[in-house]
A and B are shown apart, each in its own frame.
Chain A
Amino acid sequence: MNGWQIIGRSALNPPPDNWRQALAIRLGHKPRRIGTWAELVLYGALCCLENAGEFTSSASTLPANALISLASPRGPMQALCDSLVEAQDGQPLPLGFLQGQANQALAHLCKALNWQGDARYLTTRHPLDALRLACQSRPKGGVLLGWVSEDEPASSQWLRLVPATAQRFAPLPATLAELMDTSLNSFTLEG
């Protein structure tokens, strides 16, 4: 049985007005040289791990054998577009070039968690596709799954999932919104 327990959530859809200050408090410093999309990634992920009891004041207990799966319909598209405009005259600025790469957010997140492990980024219209793919690989330390969009209204929605062997599970809901509902504690990909 491919069952999963939801042990943490952050449904920042949209995030609160003061989310940047709240992120700085969690990191212990104001993030520098990263774009808005990557900041949203960090904030949502840290809130989710906090909710799961796996992050407190810059220390994380996310297991080394967990999988971080980040997904988005557009990634850091604004940073990429800005960098493309810069490059019309020849070369983009290095910082802008890096900010336009989606997986830079994974590096920033790993650094913030002082964590090293398997992390990937998918561009997709369907957050549950990313969830299915992550859960199919059955990482023993579970999955930290994020769905982040900087398009207004911005959102950073995360789930912390761990493999479970309980007897009965609800089937996987049809939408991310249903998964974010706190009344749902577990699900299975099967059935």
Chain B
Amino acid sequence: MNEVFLAGCGLACALGKDIPSALRMLQAGGVAPQSLSVGPALAWPYFAIPDPQPDWYARARHLCQQVVMESSANNRNIPLFIASCSLNIGAFEDGTAPEEDCLQFSEMLTEWLAWQGPVYWISTACTSSSNAILAALSCLRNGHAQEALVLGVELINRYTCAGFGAMQLLDTRRPRPLAADRAGLVLGEAVAALRLSCETSPWRICGGANVVDGCDPAGARAEAVSQMCQRALADGGANADDIDLIKLQAAGSPGNDPIELEGLREIFPQLPSLISFKAEIGHTLGASGAAELALLTACIDQRIWPAARYATDPAFNAGFAPRLPAVRYLMSNILGFGGGHATVILEHRS
């Protein structure tokens, strides 16, 4: 089985249109969410990418091309794993006629990137890009390719925000993961590219796991979180004691935040250092697995760490790492709709 490495990353998110801008903004204290109107007298906070082009497709094209370039994915013959759940819904809201063919957007993406290799579009809601990473990892591990690109794409649209609002899952203020007064998620947009390669580089992707549990189609289950961790550790050849840092899903959900911690504590009685990026970039849904991993590894590489803005709920007896911990192994979780629980484990080889 081949070893697989994270060889390059690109990211456009609310913090900035590329990784250096995002890190600068994070260091400067981050950004507040904007307001997204979803209907008459109805608006929700939303973390938008600071790129105000009015044409939805032109903006999507620019952002996708830019993050792929940032990830140094120069070989267009490798497998491309697109991860998205809201597709091009935002384009319809700007007055363009809805496409009957929902594959048209992934084919447009392929054309924008002049992609020649096989293209797979994975859509498992919030876990989409985590599952894309796992699929690409299998592909490289088992020798079916030497390099692959994961592209998480979740762009602004009123429909998804309205849907989450209708399900009473959104906060009306900036999200506060793990805080006592957390009141829900705030959505955001992101485009993230992760270039996976068999060529050695500092971040090795050890393994991961995806566990779907049908008991709650809209939320997480502690037992499934534990199962996800166990499977990922076994797949990655790591022990619970090896994990130095866990990037939580923790989005500010009153229900899911404690469930995630409960599930983790089954495997990690002493929790490792914790971090969440939902207060910085929002929940970027299908792009979140790739976007948060790109941001996390960049933070560690550049030794930049988000400042804690608020106290976490004392009842959790768990807080975010106040400063960058020493990290060899990290775990990056995403939980989501459809009973999805996914994680990947990375090792930093200095």
Residues of A within 8 A of B125 (CB): 101, 103
State the interface size on chain B (CB cutoff 8 A): 49
- In the bound complex, do residue A117 and residue B166 qualify as a contact, i.e. CB atoms below 8 Å apart? no
Residues of A within 8 A of B337 (CB): 98, 101, 103-104
- In the bound complex, do residue A136 and residue B103 qualify as a contact, i.e. CB atoms below 8 Å apart? no
Residues of B within 8 A of A115 (CB): 214
- In the bound complex, do residue A116 and residue B212 qualify as a contact, i.e. CB atoms below 8 Å apart? yes
CA distance A75 to B338 in the complex (A): 14
- In the bound complex, do residue B211 and residue A122 qualify as a contact, i.e. CB atoms below 8 Å apart? no
- In the bound complex, do residue A123 and residue B103 qualify as a contact, i.e. CB atoms below 8 Å apart? yes
Residues of B within 8 A of A154 (CB): none
Residues of B within 8 A of A77 (CB): 100, 102
Find the B residue at minimum CB distance from A100.
B163
> Which of A8-16, A79-87, A160-168, A179-187 participates in binding chain B?
A79-87
Q: Which A residues, 28 to 79, have Cβ-Cβ distances below 8 Å to chain B?
A: 68, 73-75, 77
A24 within 8 A of B: no
- Sorting the interface of chain A by its residue count into under 10, 10 to 19, 20 to 34 or 35 or more gives 35 or more
Find the A residue at minimum CB distance from B214.
A111
Residues of A within 8 A of B209 (CB): 118
- In the bound complex, do residue B121 and residue A124 qualify as a contact, i.e. CB atoms below 8 Å apart? yes
Give the shortest distance, in Å, between B211 (CB) and chain A (any CB). 6
B139 within 8 A of A: yes
- In this complex, which of B106, B118, B138, B227 has the most chain A Cβ atoms within 10 angstroms of its Cβ? B138
A20 within 8 A of B: no
A112 within 8 A of B: yes
Residues of A within 8 A of B38 (CB): 87, 90-91
A94 within 8 A of B: yes
Give the shortest distance, in Å, between B159 (CB) and chain A (any CB). 5
A121 within 8 A of B: yes
- In this complex, which of A74, A83, A108, A137 has the most chain B Cβ atoms within 10 angstroms of its Cβ? A137
A-B contact pairs, 24 of them (CB 8 A): A74-B103, A75-B123, A84-B159, A87-B159, A91-B39, A91-B166, A92-B159, A94-B167, A101-B337, A101-B338, A103-B124, A103-B338, A104-B337, A106-B124, A116-B211, A117-B211, A118-B211, A119-B210, A120-B122, A120-B210, A123-B121, A129-B118, A136-B144, A137-B142
Listed from nearest, the 4 A-B pairs whose CB atoms lie closest are: A90-B39, A111-B214, A110-B214, A137-B138
